[in-house]
Amino acid sequence: MIAVSEELEQSFLQLAEIEHKPVNKLVEMALTAFLEDYHDARIAEAAIERLERGESELISLEDAERMLNEMDG
């Protein structure tokens, strides 16, 4: 279903041999990690845009920890 260069295919074949896992599992893991990183980056970009527009503000780590501790009771 997914076509990759021969070089990339060889890299996955070598990794599969080293890790003792099927190539399709390694490809699935790589794609999953990529998509998670992609979504995390979009969330971060949206947060930065809200900060730049003044719709949100940064808080210190200490304040965040204090707020979390207050929520825990």
| Percent of the chain clearing pLDDT 70 (strictly above) | 100
Rounded distance between C-alpha atoms, residue 65 and residue 39, angstroms = 25
Confidence of residue 72 (pLDDT cuts 50, 70, 90): confident
> What average pLDDT does the chain have?
95
**Is residue 56 within 8 Å of 50, Cβ to Cβ?**
yes
Confidence of residue 37 (pLDDT cuts 50, 70, 90): very high
Rounded distance between C-alpha atoms, residue 6 and residue 4, angstroms = 6
Q: What's at 12, amino acid-wise?
A: F
